[in-house]
């Protein structure tokens, strides 16, 4: 390494340490605890990478020479609680106050060449642990408490160049754990990094190996990818390498939508744009806080629905006599396909139901035209969407990728109109839901009068009081009713 590189690294390291300042007290304590007990410990992977990126890190991952039982011993008395994240994998979780950490014994894992099940072996050195990590940018560590920076694979250079490379040959790495291929796509979406050409080639050659990975692990990576700032970057990698053919085949299938007039070749591109537009409509923190239809970002359900809303198109495509093309009921077929795919990926019931419903409803707004729905139709729209209404608003608005500005403006104005009508109906219906605190029977009994116009006026009076003054309670309402009645009875009044 040249002298200039050293200074650059030094400056970067200083910045990273500054980023870690809030955790530094804790990290120093941990370092001293383990050191005193005769063990090595280091901050490793994600938090080190994120510190260099100036990005807040979600978790504090540590690696140590101590075995799991020893980790627990060292932490006893210091941590409020500790738990097993996966003893077989050597990970212990710990919490002290508001801080949580995960500490993993150095690993030197090998894989059973036949079944591909990971065979966990504990390692003896930090370097050995780092080499088995997924990417060079994730294979950097900071020893504690002295903060020695350990980067045997040039992770910092890759980080500066926004590159994703495996510590060893990608073929070896991906054979050991094919999930790493999905992680490459995920980091592209999350961090804007690019896998290098050889990494992409290995991913393409080995894409089918992803099928040995459990659906749950695949799902977790897909979720992180979809929730990232730039899902398109990750999704395009999945599609071009062929990984998507195994984990989300409905997505590459959208590309096959080439009709003879090339009018529908863009369902894939359309879907990515709809996803990006939906992301653009997510509500930011602090924005529209009191809106019941608020959708704070990043929202997994909205994003999945945007990505999948048209997957029913390929199987429903018909070339009509006369040259047209149609996709009858693609929303119904798409909803079924969505349910099947999300179930196969072991998504929870609630997510499956919500995304499926949105796909099914994504076309409902079409036919609204310039507002010729009856109030009942508007009410039905709201009821059918239920708690998904806010997301349906955003999905429908996003699902317009025409380059014809006037058409786009018309659609958007027409949706504004629908939202206004929903708002108005809601207000009216809330008003309608307000009742006087005494019903007709009670009023009749209190005043000793039969049903009729007099009783009607009494009812209207109590309703007006209820609206003006809010609830008075039954006794208060009775007193008010009698007061009003006495006024009515005044001779000459």
Residues that bind ligand ATP (CB under 6 A): 45-46, 58-59, 61, 133-134, 138, 177, 179-180, 224
DSSP for 37-102 reads TT--EEEESHHHHHHHHT---S-EEEEESS-HHHHHHHHTTTSSEEEEEEGGGTEEEEEETTEEEE
Write down the least CB distance from residue 80 to ligand ATP, Å: 22
Write down the least CB distance from residue 296 to ligand ATP, Å: 20
CA distance 388 to 381: 11
In the complex with Mg ion, the residue whose CB is nearer, 61 or 480, is 61
**Which entry of ligand ATP, Mg ion, none binds 383, CB below 5 to 8 A by partner kind?**
none
In the complex with ligand ATP, the residue whose CB is nearer, 30 or 465, is 30
CA distance 234 to 190: 8
Using only the alpha carbons of the chain, give its radius of gyration.
31
**Which entry of ligand ATP, Mg ion, none binds 133, CB below 5 to 8 A by partner kind?**
ligand ATP
Write down the least CB distance from residue 134 to Mg ion, Å: 11
In the complex with ligand ATP, the residue whose CB is nearer, 2 or 58, is 58
Token pair recorded at residue 140: 């950097």
**Which entry of ligand ATP, Mg ion, none binds 330, CB below 5 to 8 A by partner kind?**
none
Is the bond preceding residue 253 a cis peptide, omega within 30 degrees? no
Residue nearest to ligand ATP (CB): 46
Q: Applying CB under 5 A, which residues contact Mg ion?
A: 46, 59
In the complex with ligand ATP, the residue whose CB is nearer, 103 or 477, is 103
Cα 5 from chain centroid (whole Å): 39
Write down the least CB distance from residue 240 to ligand ATP, Å: 21
Write down the least CB distance from residue 321 to Mg ion, Å: 57
In the complex with ligand ATP, the residue whose CB is nearer, 168 or 426, is 168
Q: SS3 breakdown of the chain: % helix, strand, coil, rounded to 5?
A: 60, 10, 30
**Which entry of ligand ATP, Mg ion, none binds 179, CB below 5 to 8 A by partner kind?**
ligand ATP
In the complex with Mg ion, the residue whose CB is nearer, 59 or 428, is 59
In the complex with ligand ATP, the residue whose CB is nearer, 111 or 415, is 111
Please provide residue 43's backbone torsions phi and psi, each rounded to the nearest 5 degrees. -75, 140
Write down the least CB distance from residue 47 to Mg ion, Å: 7
Please provide residue 34's backbone torsions phi and psi, each rounded to the nearest 5 degrees. -70, -40
Residue 104 is inside which H or E element, if any?
Answer: strand 99-105
With helix as H, strand as E and coil as C, how does 387-454 read? Answer: HHHHHHHHHHHHCCCCCCHHHHHHHHHHHHHHHHHHHHHHHHHHHHHCCCCCCHHHHHHHHCCCCCHH
**Which entry of ligand ATP, Mg ion, none binds 134, CB below 5 to 8 A by partner kind?**
ligand ATP
Q: Are 352 and 308 in contact (CB under 8 A)?
A: no
SS3 call for 325 = strand
Write down the least CB distance from residue 173 to ligand ATP, Å: 8
Write down the least CB distance from residue 145 to ligand ATP, Å: 21
Residue nearest to Mg ion (CB): 46
**Which entry of Mg ion, ligand ATP, none binds 299, CB below 5 to 8 A by partner kind?**
none
In the complex with ligand ATP, the residue whose CB is nearer, 210 or 352, is 210
What DSSP designation does 167 have?
A: S
């Amino acid at each position: 390494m040249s002298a200039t590189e050293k200074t650059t690294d030094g400056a970067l390291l200083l910045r990273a340490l500054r980023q870690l300042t809030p955790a530094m007290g804790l990290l120093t304590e941990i370092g001293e605890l383990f050191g005193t007990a005769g063990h090595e410990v280091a901050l490793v992977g994600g938090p080190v990478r994120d510190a260099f990126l100036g990005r807040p890190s979600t978790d504090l991952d540590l690696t140590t020479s101590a075995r799991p039982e020893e980790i627990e011993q060292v932490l006893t008395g210091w941590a409020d609680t500790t738990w097993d994240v996966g003893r077989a994998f050597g990970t212990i979780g710990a919490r002290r106050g508001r801080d949580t950490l995960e500490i993993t014994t150095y690993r030197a894992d090998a894989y059973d060449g036949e079944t591909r099940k990971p065979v966990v072996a504990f390692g003896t050195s930090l370097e050995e642990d780092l080499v088995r990590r997924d990417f060079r940018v994730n294979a950097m560590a900071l020893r504690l408490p002295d903060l020695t920076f350990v980067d045997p694979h040039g992770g910092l250079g890759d980080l500066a160049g926004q590159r994703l490379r495996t510590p060893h040959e990608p073929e070896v790495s991906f054979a050991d754990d094919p999930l790493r291929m999905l992680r490459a796509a995920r980091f592209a979406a999350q961090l804007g990094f690019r896998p290098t050409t050889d990494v992409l080639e290995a991913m393409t050659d080995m894409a089918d190996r992803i099928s040995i990975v459990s659906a749950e692990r695949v799902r977790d990576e897909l979720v992180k990818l979809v929730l990232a700032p730039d899902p398109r970057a990750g999704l395009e990698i999945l599609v071009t390498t062929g990984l998507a053919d195994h984990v989300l085949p409905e997505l590459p299938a959208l590309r096959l939508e080439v009709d003879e007039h090339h009018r529908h070749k863009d369902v894939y591109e359309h879907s990515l744009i709809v996803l990006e537009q939906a992301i653009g409509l997510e509500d930011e923190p602090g924005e529209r806080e009191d809106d019941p239809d608020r959708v704070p970002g990043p929202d997994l359900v909205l994003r999945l629905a945007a990505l999948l809303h048209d997957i029913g198109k390929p199987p429903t495509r018909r070339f009509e006599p006369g040259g047209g093309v149609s996709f009858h009921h693609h929303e119904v077929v798409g909803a079924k396909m969505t349910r099947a795919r999300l179930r196969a990926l072991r998504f929870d019931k609630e997510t499956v139901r919500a995304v499926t419903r949105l796909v099914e409803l994504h076309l409902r707004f079409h036919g609204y035209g310039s507002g010729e729905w009856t109030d009942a139709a508007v009410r039905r729209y709201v009821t059918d969407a239920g708690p998904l209404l806010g997301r349906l608003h955003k999905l429908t608005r996003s699902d317009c990728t025409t380059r014809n500005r006037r058409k786009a403006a018309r659609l958007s104005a027409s949706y504004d109109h629908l939202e206004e009508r929903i708002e108005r109906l809601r207000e009216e219906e809330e008003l309608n839901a307000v009742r006087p605190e005494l019903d007709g029977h009670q009023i009749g009994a209190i005043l000793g009068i039969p049903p009729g116009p007099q009783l009607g006026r009494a009812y209207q009076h109590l309703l007006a009081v209820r609206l003006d003054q809010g609830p008075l309670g039954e006794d208060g309402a009775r007193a008010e009713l009698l007061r009003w009645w006495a006024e009515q009875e005044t001779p000459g009044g």
